[in-house]
Structure 1
Amino acid sequence: MARQKPRTPAPPAAPWYARLATSAGRPAVLAATLVMSMPGEYHVARFAGWSDPWAYGMPFSLSAYAGIAAVVAATRPKGARGRFSATVGAAFAIVLALAAQVVAHLVNTGHMDHNQAWLIAVTSMVPPAVLAHLLHLAATPVPTADAEPAPAAVTVERAEAVPVPPMPAEPPAVEQLERAPELEAPAGEEQRPERPTFQYADPRCALIRPLYDEGYRPTTTEMRAALIAANVPAPGGSTLRGIIRDEIERHEPGLAQLPARPTQLHQAG
């Protein structure tokens, strides 16, 4: 009897105040940091030459852009298109937001002159760069789970029905029923009765039906081998028995009563 592995005890639940700080603290911290970052980003926009109310768009451009790029980089699977670009964009947005705070405070405290060409040029490029990268992320498709390949189409030629001649009005004479010697089957060969044709819903049934002609009900292995020999992908055992073989035997119920092929052990005994 196999031993059951001891269950690992579940870790104790965090106290309520810790859960509250985690759930309510994160949005509070997010709101606080956005509010604290807005003045510095606003002043940098004013230094670059934007007037009110256009300068108020700089905090939204930097803060919202950093959040969107970070979320896209975290949610896209590894190796997916757009993940690397979103990661670079998130890092770039964080650097811009940090630089805006540093520059604004250096200018306000008198440690830096805001009337510099490089500062004005870099700040002026922020809105169009943010817009271009967000449009790139929106146009990059999100990968989905690979769909399973559709099974190959099975083309089976159906036997054409042999037209039955009309019955004569009077029964033929006895001598007309006698076969000519040259048409009689050779000795030792049995003529199998002509098998009726059916239109199966599953065309693979036409490949499995000849296995019944040997007088045995085909097994899963025999049916799979017949399909593989015909270059048709073989399904699982439940499909072979429950769908293909079941449909054949619904058309010809007597086939279900055939015995299974005896194994080599039975034949030896």
Structure 2
Amino acid sequence: MSAAARVDASSTGVEVPLTPVAVDYAITTLASVLTVVLTAVAFWLSYEHLQEVAAAHGMAEAVARSWAWPATVDLFIVIGELLILRASLAHRVDWWAIGLVTAGDGASIGLNVAGVGQDAGALNYVVAAVPPVAALLAFGALMRQVHAYLARRASTDVEAPSTPVKVSIDRPTATPSTGIVDGAESVPKLPAFVPEVEAASMPVAVEAAPVAVSSTAVDLCAPVVYPNRVDQLVRALYGSDFTQPSTTRMIMAMDAAGLGTSQSTARTARGRVKAREPHLANFPTAIAS
């Protein structure tokens, strides 16, 4: 059938058969529900029988204790199965959890069978052994389904890219004479920025200005270090636009740095900076206050 002759089934009202994914999901859901029911019934039968065994052997008058006693056996199975599930999700083997399940299952099956008595028929022992064995198998199947569900969720959470991206990397080699790297075609070149220079209409004669011998010497020593944070902030404002910072500007900078908004603090800091670096007083003062 060509692509032009295909018809969307959702617009025609024709029922579309279930996909294999939908069938698998339905079967998995039904199996999970039945496994939960089977686990609950098997545990209940085993627990009930163990309660009768406890009541017949010293706990007949203590009803609460006879009902609590089977938990000391059956809960080992639940704890061990959960620890095995955790270990399998971490891709490791927990032998301690396997030992708990083995001990709990062995004790549950042995006590259920032993509670029947010595003179009972063979079928009575089978009836007593079926619930703990069924509980073991059902709980194991339930944990396996939970593990499969979590593994499927982990695999679907990672989305693969829709289209593969092929990246080719050419190993660059430099020409010894020029130092230019070969294989530059693998890297896109950006156009060089060349500023436009307007040609002068006429030559301009530039006269060199005489340098006064009595010019102030420039101190090339290390810059002055200010231990006070406010002084550091005010000194940085001098170098931002080479003007003396105004009080308002200093307060705004102090507020942004979390140093308060005191006018006197700002002005005092500006005075300390000028005292340590007198050449800053030559900066324009038109906006200073």
TM-score normalised by the chain length of structure 2: 0.32
Q: Which has the larger radius of gyration?
A: 2
TM-score normalised by the chain length of structure 1: 0.34
